[in-house]
Amino acid sequence: MSRTRTAMLAAAALVAGASGTALAADPGGIGLAAVPCTVDYKVQNQWDTGFTAAVTVTNQGAAKSNWSVKWSYAGNQKVTSGWNAKISQSGAAVTAANETYNGTLGTGGSVSFGFQASYSGTNALPATFTLDGVTCNVDDGGGGPTDPTDPGPTGPKVDNPYSGAKVYVNPEWSAKAAAEPGGSRIAGQPTGVWLDRIAAINGVNGGMGLRDHLDAALTQKGSGELVVQLVIYNLPGRDCAALASNGELGPTELGRYKTEYIDPIAAILADPKYAALRIVTTIEIDSLPNLVTNTGSRPTATPQCDVMKANGNYQKGVGYALNKLGDAANVYNYIDAGHHGWIGWDDNFASSAAVMKEAATSEGATVNDVHGFIANTANYSALKENNFTINDSVAGKSVRESKWVDWNRYTDELSFAQGFRNQLVTTGFNSGIGMLIDTSRNGWGGSARPAGPGATTDVDTYVNGGRYDRRIHVGNWCNQSGAGLGERPQASPAAGIDAYVWIKPPGESDGASSEIPNDEGKGFDRMCDPTYTGNPRNGNNLSGALPNAPLSGHWFSAQFQQLMQNAYPPLS
């Protein structure tokens, strides 16, 4: 539930008569003038030092090409950020003006915007509003304000949100794909929407923000069910083992993560307007497994990961996101679970599940806030290696002894996801959790795809000759040469798997192949440089990265063309 103040913007037109002054005719016969506009102001979330609010303006008067809503606070509220409106404040007075994309407000039309603010003491609701200078008469709705901390009713979630549902096609990605030669073959596929910085909530450089995507999803939904896939990706000290995807928040900025990032997202997702959507959130990729594999005395450790392990902000951030986002009945949280080439080894497997349980029970979250996990996000590990298994032996040696497998318990993502699901349940997660696998770039088709096992002369020849995954080393992760599109998104493809998904939009770079100054917080990681000879995390091998790559998340045409060429199953 949320605190609400509905403001009726009365015309209050006065008509001078011979015997005095009278109100304009009241066609409804209830003693009120015509109402050209309604403003609904809601405090959606409130805590000790701040709150988020949503404002909806419905225009019943003449159509407008621009609009401006104003109000004043009686207390010390200060707006700190906003979305879908240009919000400014002078003293107690606040002005919210339209953005370039939502200035048109037709008769009977509505527009919504929101903001986050700080306060201390009492957070009193504004007493008056104006729309384009017209003063508002205020109606509290008869029942008075309700408790802003009450999360409201939550209903049962479906077992698999993808079952029987379409999945949202991001219009921005679709347009880029369609503009590529041959790209129309996949431009209609659903991909993830990445919220990788605070500004992405409102939209970056004139692009679509979160509300824009959700509004577009309502249009795509029609009368059936529709899933929207969001990537929640902005932890403090993000991706401590890779520079290309570093984020805007420093290691200690957990407060900003909560109030400037998660809280505004949660407020938007809680809007009843979007209650009919199934919203899947992929929570903080490339985070929790780092605390196991890249800390302490391990040769793969980094000082940045040691810092994040010591301060606990990865667990706290993930827990806070699970707690706040999971309050909505139509939100399905999936935690990132790395991939088999990261945590498939005996000393990483159970330890990673334990860290994920720690995060899922932090900051008010419980395991009930976790609907499942996702493997291989933005990675390249093959879905299923058919030409060898870890149970094979060649020339007296187990496949696990090969340089490629290197004693891993798993050789591909399907077996890993199913095995890790069992481990997660053993660790204390609900038995009904489902797994997602990102298959956007793990097809490994084309002429390099082996038709069968390698020669049995020795175990390395056998594995290398038969493996679909053609990377130089399983630790290589940036813009991999030779990769192809994998299985198309589909629901319930295998036991324990809720869906194959394309969370990483094909054609979006993993990182720049050379240093590019930017204001996005993204550094230069040598693993994206094709000349780099590696580090302990990839066995000191060449990076296998494509040349001339742009910043992570930016469009990389050459990669997109390669992914289509090497798609498996092949594109028709």
Residues known to be catalytic: 286, 510
Q: Tell me how far apart the alpha carbons of residues 395 and 424 are, in angstroms, rounded to a whole number.
A: 36
Q: Supply the DSSP symbol for 320.
A: H
Q: Tell me how far apart the alpha carbons of residues 234 and 324 are, in angstroms, rounded to a whole number.
A: 15
Per-residue buried b or exposed e for 80-92, using 16+ beta carbons within 10 Å of the residue's own CB = ebbbbbebebeee
For residue 208, how far is the Cα from the chain centroid?
14
Beta strands of 382-487 (E only): which ranges? 393-394, 397-398, 434-438
Q: Supply the DSSP symbol for 452.
A: S
CA torsion through residues 256, 315, 366, 349, sign? positive
Q: Tell me how far apart the alpha carbons of residues 209 and 81 are, in angstroms, rounded to a whole number.
A: 14
Instruction: Tell me the pairing of strands 165-167 and 137-139.
Output: unpaired
By the 10 Å C-beta count (0-12 exposed, 13-18 middle, 19+ buried), 100 is classed as exposed
Per-residue buried b or exposed e for 278-304, using 16+ beta carbons within 10 Å of the residue's own CB = bbbbbbbbbbbbbbbbbbeeeebbbeb
With a CB cutoff of 8 Å and minimum separation 6, the contacts of 312 are 362
